Amino acid sequence: DAKTTQPPSMDCAEGRAANLPCNHSTISGNEYVYWYRQIHSQGPQYIIHGLKNNETNEMASLIITEDRKSSTLILPHATLRDTAVYYCIAGYGKLTFGQGTILTVHP
Amino acid sequence: GAVVSQHPSWVICKSGTSVKIECRSLDFQATTMFWYRQFPKQSLMLMATSNEGSKATYEQGVEKDKFLINHASLTLSTLTVTSAHPEDSSFYICSAWDRGNNEQFFGPGTRLTVL
């Protein structure tokens, strides 16, 4: 898996958009960009994934740069329940987790 | 997203005993599943890749004789921690890979405490 780099922590106000960046400059052609989040003592929850194109689902949007070396996860209207550790992973099949970003959504 | 279940959700055992953890893919057939463990305040660490009908592939530093993996069907993989010791106490998480959609879904985890 390509190594990913994420900021260790971020804050966001409730109701505002949360934009979480991720660098994956060594990503290879067949590797996807995956985003998961984990709330304490639970398994990771799938959020979204993409290969080249931007993706959107009911939870979030994923913006991947044209050179695929970085991406941004966007939670359009953050709520307190979005407080979690967010993991960005570049891989195919076997996924290697980094340290992630602790997102804290405050009132 | 697809549902992956794990059983039990938590287990406490005595040192020296063996513990089996089940991982089931409920919505799709998974030829490949993965096992991770997570220590407090750390990220998930991949332990092994479980392939249906063949031997598991273990990551460097993971003892295959201690962590026995069986993937006998397309919806079930089991991890057996043999002769468990207190240092094996951890949060064990499995995932199932949906190759067709390139999606991977995780189970809720199993908390193992070895006394």
Quote the pLDDT of residue B65: 95
Quote the pLDDT of residue A41: 84
Identify which of B44, B102, B111 has the shortest CB distance to residue A49: B102
User: What average pLDDT does this structure show over A6-32?
Assistant: 96
Cβ neighbours for A51, distance < 8 A, ≥ 6 positions apart: A32, A33, A64, B102
Taking contacts as CB-CB distances below 8 angstroms, the residues of chain A near B105 are 46
Task: Give the span between the Cα atoms of B86 and B83, in whole angstroms.
Answer: 10
Quote the pLDDT of residue A67: 95
Quote the pLDDT of residue A1: 66
CA B102 to chain centre: 20
CB contact under 8 A, A34 and B104: yes
CB contact under 8 A, B93 and A46: no
User: What type of residue is A78?
Assistant: A
Task: Give the span between the Cα atoms of B29 and B37, in whole angstroms.
Answer: 23
Chain mean pLDDT for chain A: 95
- Among candidate residues A75, A96, A79, the one with its CA nearest the CA of residue A87: A96
Chain A / chain B CB contacts < 8 angstroms: 52
The residues of chain B scoring below 50 in pLDDT are: none
Identify which of B1, B32, B43 has the shortest CB distance to residue A98: B43
Quote the pLDDT of residue B105: 95
Please give the structure tokens belonging to residue A67: 């050179």
User: What average pLDDT does this structure show over A37-61?
Assistant: 95
Q: Which residues of A lie inside 8 Å of B (Cβ-Cβ)? A: 32, 34, 36, 41-46, 49, 51, 87, 92-100
